[in-house]
Structure 1
Amino acid sequence: MTSVMHEDGPRGAAGMKRNGNASMRRLIAEGAKGPIGLVAALVVLIVVFSFLNPRFASIENLQNVLFQVSVPLILVVGATLVIQMGSIDLSVEGIMGAAGMAWILLSPNTRTMIDLGMWAWLIALGLGLSLGLMTGVIYAKLKVPSFVVSLGTWYVGLGIAILLYGNNSLPSLTSDALARWPTGLTLGLPHSFWLAAGVLLFGLLISNYTNLGRGLMAIGNNEPIARTSGMPVNVYKIGAFAIAGLLGGLAGILATMQLGSGSTDIGFGQLFVGIPAAVIGGTALGGGEGGMTRSALGVFLLIILNNGLVLAGVDPDYQSGVFGLILLIAIIAVAWPERGRLKVAK
């Protein structure tokens, strides 16, 4: 009886907390090995595609790759935080559509002739944040599975985008400065990539140096222990979805700038880049494992693969099939050495 009371008391909880911290240190140490396989895969792709078409290794194409990688790199930061705690966020395309349409209608455009300046950014980002908060609250407080609630948020965001689009003419940017900003260069790199790199740094800081980042990993690794140790699990869950929503809004704005006009489906296809990139990077769908750097490398792998197939002259009718086959091989190649510890979502 004494032994049971001892384990259930504060000292027992402290012991579980120490075990959780030890597990966290082990996961971080093991995670450092993960990028080696991803870097090797990237090198192989670069060598192969450079051989197939020398244009692949040109400075112009490098800049093009960095331009293409910007939006999914922003999205994968939020996706990684959510997946690390054992959840999934399917709302990204809807949030991007809603935020992108809100931003362009409040910026210099051919329809409204309105220019709210930075307020357009704040309102659009606030919309993305609000949708993310809604997802997190319903998931954490009402215990609705993240798959279901985020799918609902996707359609809520899409509905907002369609309402904002209305039946009028397509809104296009009238500000050359805004339209050209994503492709402008600083130190030889596109502005859009610098923005994405800043977001990635933000994600790294949260993931590695804050209670939120460590808490999300602990929740994914063992939620009951996280709760027993006194961790504010629900707050962390809501926070992860809120950040993902905020970054989804930012990605929607950037994608709209890149396109130069508003579109309700501005985020089309992005969901199927962010989540596979995180998984390729070793972020287990069951939670508790992964990292921002590895997810970022996963994004680069997918974008380089797609870019290389185009330059290699693969027939567009076959590109999706070839891309899917190579993607499957890449996932197996990266995950196979870690198969003993990777979790699989049921």
Structure 2
Amino acid sequence: MQSILSRSIKGPIGLIVSILVLIVIFSILNPRFGSIENLQNVLYQASVPLIVVVGATLVIQMGSIDLSVEGVMGASGMAWILLSPNTRHALDLGPWAWVIAIGLGLGLGLLSGLVHAKLKVPSFVVTLGTWYVGLGIAILLYGNGMLPSLTSEALARWPSRLSLGLPNSFWLAAVVILGGILASNYTGFGRGVLAVGNNETIARGGGMAVDRIKIAAFTVAGCLSGLAGILATMQLGSGSPDIGFGQLFTVIPAAVIAGTALGGGEGGVLRSILGVFLLIILNNGLVLAGVDPDFQSGVFGAILIVAIVAVAWPTRGALKVAK
């Protein structure tokens, strides 16, 4: 257990320093950045990518990648709102709306895992296809009728409502994070994911059910993307096939910045969480610093490159780089 703990805390020092530096800089540029209200806002903004990054990290640790996030979020989000109190019709399945919507995400993740593991199709190709399958489902559910918006004020306000001083959406993400850390560090499944990422051939030779591990990882990732789609829909208050837009380009860089090697076998959920916070704080700080929206993307990218170098440089000798 001590070795597991040491692996969990080893490496993020540069990332933590980068986050602290950003906090100091943005607090100087705008004192509002360090306020309690903005801290709550940062946690609220981070909730969706924090949920997604748990599943994405498991997949990346195997040396694979999941590009289906946005499509799965759109499909699950649309399914959920159409089965919850909304302006299009009176159908309300209550908790079953959550079960069905998350089940849809689980099914899409399972599809990706089966095709990748059993048919040996590269994960990049498979999940790109699943992305468009999910997007297609979302568009079909969206249809040409009235925009489905939540009519339940309790549901619409739940993500931003505070419990013990923190947004409910963050508490939901915290539960997912805890489950991800426990599964990754203290279960045979988590150890299997790392073993497959380190050397799939050796893992198979050692008797590991590699295909089963791959399918399980993609299924978990799809399930969590589905949950994230529901939460994002609640935050928006209405359904949209594009509810997951931009999440992929937050989650993947966050995991990589945090030391989850694209070649597999490195990193962990806890590190990826820090990566998400770095990117969310960076984006939030640029807005409060008054950076022109036309230049935010360029400034964000430049600072992101510096952050990647700062975090990766101390462990550059151990990084797996795809050439």
Fold-level match, TM-score > 0.5?
A: yes
Determine the structure 2 residue equivalent to 1:231.
208
Aligned residue among 126, 134, 155 for 1:149: 126
Q: Is the 8 A contact 1:84 1:289 kept in 2?
A: yes
Instruction: Give the Cα–Cα distance (whole angstroms) in 1 for the partners of residues 225 and 179 of structure 2.
Output: 14
Map 1:1-346 onto structure 2 (within 5 A).
29-346=6-323
User: Residue 257 of structure 2 aligns to which amino acid in structure 1?
Assistant: I
Instruction: Give the Cα–Cα distance (whole angstroms) in 1 for the partners of residues 2 and 138 of structure 2.
Output: 43
Instruction: Give the Cα–Cα distance (whole angstroms) in 2 for the partners of residues 141 and 130 of structure 1.
Output: 16
Instruction: Give the Cα–Cα distance (whole angstroms) in 1 for the partners of residues 178 and 127 of structure 2.
Output: 25
Instruction: Give the Cα–Cα distance (whole angstroms) in 2 for the partners of residues 110 and 26 of structure 1.
Output: 53
* Structure number with larger C-alpha Rg: 1
| 1:96-118 deviation line (CA, Å, top 9, x unaligned) | 00000000000000002110000
Please state how far the C-alpha of 1:29 moved relative to its aligned partner: 3.9
Aligned partner of residue 327 in structure 1, secondary structure: helix
Q: Is the 8 A contact 1:27 1:289 kept in 2?
A: no
User: Residue 146 of structure 2 aligns to which amino acid in structure 1?
Assistant: S
Aligned partner of residue 237 in structure 1, secondary structure: helix
Instruction: Give the Cα–Cα distance (whole angstroms) in 2 for the partners of residues 248 and 282 of structure 1.
Output: 21
Instruction: Give the Cα–Cα distance (whole angstroms) in 1 for the partners of residues 61 and 103 of structure 2.
Output: 24
- Pairwise CA RMSD: 1.3
Please state how far the C-alpha of 1:36 moved relative to its aligned partner: 1.1
Please state how far the C-alpha of 1:27 moved relative to its aligned partner: 8.3
Instruction: Give the Cα–Cα distance (whole angstroms) in 1 for the partners of residues 309 and 299 of structure 2.
Output: 16
Q: Which sections of structure 1, spanning at least 5 residues, go unmatched?
A: 1-23
Q: Is the 8 A contact 1:185 1:191 kept in 2?
A: yes
Aligned partner of residue 339 in structure 1, secondary structure: helix
Please state how far the C-alpha of 1:32 moved relative to its aligned partner: 2.5
Determine the structure 2 residue equivalent to 1:8.
none
Q: Is the 8 A contact 2:4 2:185 kept in 1?
A: no
Identity over the aligned pairs, expressed in percent?
A: 76
Please state how far the C-alpha of 1:28 moved relative to its aligned partner: 6.7
Aligned length, in residue pairs: 323
Instruction: Give the Cα–Cα distance (whole angstroms) in 2 for the partners of residues 220 and 233 of structure 1.
Output: 10
Please state how far the C-alpha of 1:244 moved relative to its aligned partner: 0.2
Closer, same or farther in 2 for the Cα pair 1:30/1:107, shift >3 Å? closer
Instruction: Give the Cα–Cα distance (whole angstroms) in 2 for the partners of residues 278 and 25 of structure 1.
Output: 24
Determine the structure 2 residue equivalent to 1:15.
none
Query: Structure 1-normalised TM-score?
Result: 0.92
User: Residue 120 of structure 2 aligns to which amino acid in structure 1?
Assistant: K
Instruction: Give the Cα–Cα distance (whole angstroms) in 1 for the partners of residues 91 and 123 of structure 2.
Output: 37
User: Residue 81 of structure 1 aligns to which amino acid in structure 2?
Assistant: L
| 1:113-139 deviation line (CA, Å, top 9, x unaligned) | 110000100000000000000000000
Instruction: Give the Cα–Cα distance (whole angstroms) in 2 for the partners of residues 262 and 31 of structure 1.
Output: 38
Please state how far the C-alpha of 1:52 moved relative to its aligned partner: 0.3
